[in-house]
Amino acid sequence: MYAIIRTGGKQYQVAAGERLRVEKLAGEVGETVELDDVLLVADGEDIKVGQPVIDGAKVTAQIVEQDKDKKIIVFKKKKRKGYKLRKGHRQPYTALEIKDISL
């Protein structure tokens, strides 16, 4: 059984027992989160597609980690103008462990 969920402006295919990194969600490590934006649920041959979401369907997950991703460097330069800009950015994320998919 798997589901396609939407969180943080992105879509993810999840199954029970999987670990997943999503855009930062509010909550502490160890808390349970319910994701209600379920777009599709497939159980073998039985597939339910929402328009756009399935009413009453939810995915239960536990927060495993709240952290920041690796640093990326943003560098801008204009030739012959003496303009250089160097910035770093670390995107915060939440690691989830999927516990259950329910309809």
Residue 46: the pLDDT is: 93
Of 15, 55, 13, 22, nearest to 37 by C-alpha is: 55
The pTM for the full model equals: 0.85
List the chain domain ranges.
Answer: 2-102
Residue 69: the pLDDT is: 97
Residue 103: the pLDDT is: 86
Residue 89: the pLDDT is: 98
- Per-residue pLDDT of 49-73, as tens digits, reads 999 999 999 999 999 999 999 999 9
